[in-house]
């Protein structure tokens, strides 16, 4: 379901697709993933022309522990959404 990961520094984006070869945007899964992240305590932004990109914009002064916690939440929610 991940079509691409891109960004600079801490500003990263994960593009979600329904078909990895054709790169078909999947806005519905992106919205569900975004809602599940918010419910789990992780604020994420959706963006992109088709609304199928999750954007991460942590502050430059984020602690390693807080960054790890956020990424762990995202990983868990992503695994649950993909199942």
What's this model's pTM, rounded to 2 decimal places? Answer: 0.87
Q: Which domains does the chain have, with CATH numbers?
A: 2-82 (3.90.1150.10)
Cα(28)–Cα(32) distance, rounded to whole angstroms? 6
Place of tokens 């956020």: 70
For 28-80, the pLDDT digits (tens) are 999 999 999 999 999 999 999 999 999 999 999 999 999 999 999 999 999 99
């Amino acid at each position: 379901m991940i079509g691409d990961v891109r960004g600079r520094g801490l500003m990263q984006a994960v593009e979600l697709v329904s078909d990895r070869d054709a790169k078909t945007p999947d806005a519905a899964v992106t919205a569900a993933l975004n809602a599940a992240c918010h419910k789990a305590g992780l604020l994420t932004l959706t963006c992109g022309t088709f609304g199928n990109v999750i954007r991460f914009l942590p502050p430059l002064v984020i602690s390693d522990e807080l960054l790890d916690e956020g990424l762990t939440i995202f990983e868990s929610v992503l695994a649950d959404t993909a199942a």
